[in-house]
Amino acid sequence: MLTLKKTIFSLLLLYPIWTHSQDTFRKDVFLMGCDFDITVVADNEAEAQGFIHLAISEIKRIESLISSWSSSSQTSHINRMAGKEPVVVDPELFQLIERCIQISKSTDGAFDISYASIDHIWKFDGSITKAPNKEEIKSSVKYINYQEIVLNPAQSSVFLKTKGMKIGFGAIGKGYAADKAKELLVSKGGQAGIINASGDMNAWGTQPNSEPWQIAITNPLNKNKVFARLPLKNRSVVTSGNYEKFIVLDGKRYSHIIDPRTGWPCNGLASVTVLAPKAELADALATSVFVMGIEAGLDRINQIPNVDCIIIDDQGGIHKSAHIEIESL
Ligand code: ADP
Ligand code: MG
C-alpha cells in the first residue's frame, strides 16, 4: 500500500513535466548604449514576456545608477564633486566601486574605473579627427589612479580626491547588468536563459531539450569563421575587442581600452574572451587582459580559480589559459 501511494505521488510530481513543453523566447533591445539580446525558457509567451519585461526594467535601473552620461546619476554626482566632498551613494553602487578597486589591485592597476578622467580626450563617437597632443595626455593621465578613490563604508560615501578625476563603468557595467538581470529572473522562477549584452553574457539552466547552451567563438580577424565551441553551464563569457569600438586617426587604429599607466589606447590584441562564474568579473578581466598583454594577462588568469581566457592577437594567433577545455574546430 505504501509503495502504491509513493508511486502515485511521484507520478503527480512528474505530471507537469509531461504535459508542459517549454520553449525558448528571445527579445533584442537597445539599453546602456548597446544591443541586449534576452533569451528565456518559459512555458508560454505570456510567462516569457513577463520575464523579459523584468530583465529590461532591471537593466534600466542599473543604467540610471551607474551611467556617467546621465547627469542625474549618482555616478555623475561623484564625478562633479571630485576634489570637493564625498558623496553618499546607494550601498549597491558603493559595493560595485569596492569590487572595482579590488580588481584594480589584483590586476596591478590595468583595470581602473578612473580611466574616465581622460575620456574628454579619447572620444570614440567620431568627434575627434586627429591624434591628441602628447602633452595633453601627459597632464591628464595623472588623474587616473584608483588609489585616490576614497571609500567610507560607515557613510556609504565615495570621494574622488582630486578635482579633474572621474570614474566610469564602461568596462564592467554591461557584465554587472547581465548578472543582476539573471539574478532577478532566477529569483522569480526563471529556470533558464541567457542575458547577452552585445557579447557579454551570463547563461543559466539548459535549453528546453536539456542540452547545455552552446557558444561559438569567432576569430575577429575572420568573423565568419567559428574556431571553437563550448558549452556554457551556469557561466559567463565576455569578449573585449578592438574591432567594434575604435577610431582611426592619421591612418593609425586606436582601441577604446586605455592603458591607465600611459593614457594611450592599448594595441597588439584583436580580442580577449574571458569565462568566469559571473559576467561582472569576466567583463572586468577581459578589459584588464587587453591592457596587460598576452604573457602577464594569461599568467594572472591562470592564478584565478574557475576563470579561463582565450586571446586572439592582431596577427590572428590564438593563446589560451592553462585549464580551458574547448572543442576546437
Ligand atoms: P566593450 O565595451 O567592447 O565590452 P570593455 O568591456 O573592454 O569593452 O570596455 C571598454 C570600455 O571600458 C571603454 O569604452 C571605456 O569606457 C572603459 N575603459 C577603457 N579602458 C579602461 C581601463 N583600463 N579600465 C577600466 N575601464 C576602461
Ligand atoms: Mg570589460
Per-residue pLDDT tens digits for 211-240: 999 888 877 777 777 777 888 888 999 998
Report how far residue 203's alpha carbon sits from residue 212's, in angstroms, rounded to the nearest whole number: 10
Give, for ligand 1, the residue of 256, 259, 278 to mutate: max count of ligand atoms closer than 8 Å to Cβ: 256
C-alpha cell at 303: 592564478
Strand, coil or helix: 49? helix
CA 266 to ligand 1: nearest atom: 20
> Is 23 marked within a binding site?
no
Instruction: State residue 9's pLDDT score.
Output: 34
Instruction: State residue 163's pLDDT score.
Output: 96
Instruction: State residue 31's pLDDT score.
Output: 95
What confidence tier does 242 reach under pLDDT thresholds 50, 70, 90? low
Per-residue pLDDT tens digits for 132-165: 888 989 999 999 999 999 999 999 999 999 999 9
Ligand 1 site, residue 283, Cβ cutoff 6 A: yes
> Is 179 marked within a binding site?
no
Ligand 1 centre distance from Cα of residue 22 (Å): 37
What confidence tier does 13 reach under pLDDT thresholds 50, 70, 90? very low
204 membership: H or E segment, kind and range: strand 200-204
16-30, 169-183, 206-220: least confidently modelled range: 16-30
Report whether 272 contacts 240 (CB < 8 A): yes
Q: Which amino acid is at 133?
A: N
17-31, 71-85, 309-323: least confidently modelled range: 17-31
> Is 283 marked within a binding site?
yes
Ligand 1 site, residue 175, Cβ cutoff 6 A: no
pLDDT at 289 > cutoff 90? yes
What is the pTM for the complete model shown?
0.91
Atom 26 of ligand 1, residue of closest alpha carbon:
171
Ligand 2 centre distance from Cα of residue 320 (Å): 18
Taken in order of first residue, the domains within the chain and their CATH numbers are 1-329 (3.10.520.10)
C-alpha cell at 224: 565568419
Q: Count of residues for the chain?
A: 329
What angle do the packed helices 294-302 and 279-292 form, to 10 degrees?
140
Ligand 1 site, residue 245, Cβ cutoff 6 A: yes
pLDDT at 107 > cutoff 50? yes
Mean pLDDT of 8-21: 42
Measured CA angle at 103 (ends 102, 108), to 5 deg? 100
Could you give the maximum distance between any two Cα atoms of the chain, in Å?
88
Atom 8 of ligand 1, residue of closest alpha carbon:
240
What confidence tier does 174 reach under pLDDT thresholds 50, 70, 90? very high
Listed in sequence order, the residues at least 6 apart from 149 whose beta carbon sits closer than 8 Å to its beta carbon are: 97, 101, 113, 114, 158, 159, 160, 161, 165, 167
Report how far residue 174's alpha carbon sits from residue 195's, in angstroms, rounded to the nearest whole number: 10
Query: What mean pLDDT value characterizes the chain?
Result: 89
